[in-house]
Amino acid sequence: MPNPKRRHSQQRSAKRRTHYKAVADTLSTDSATGEVHLRHRAHWVENKLYYKGKVVLEKQSNAK
């Protein structure tokens, strides 16, 4: 494995790390349910999976 030939200074390391920032996730409100969810993600509401305001999947109960 390649290794650095010389030590990098603290300033150089800090300059590189300035671009590692925490970014808040984007939230959206579903038009059908009014539920707040992560953008571009499906979300569950009352045993139904919604994506883009439409029901994609309904959870079936396993009661016998």
pLDDT for residue 64: 63
Q: Is the dihedral of CA 52, 35, 37, 41 positive or negative?
A: negative
pLDDT for residue 13: 93
pLDDT for residue 1: 86
CA–CA separation, 15 and 17 (whole Å)? 5
Tokens found for residue 50: 């919604």
Tens-place pLDDT, residues 3-39: 999 999 999 999 999 999 999 999 999 988 899 999 9
Closest CA to 54 of 29, 32, 27: 32
Which pTM value belongs to this model?
A: 0.61
The confidence band for 61, taking pLDDT boundaries of 50, 70 and 90, is confident
Tokens found for residue 48: 């139904």
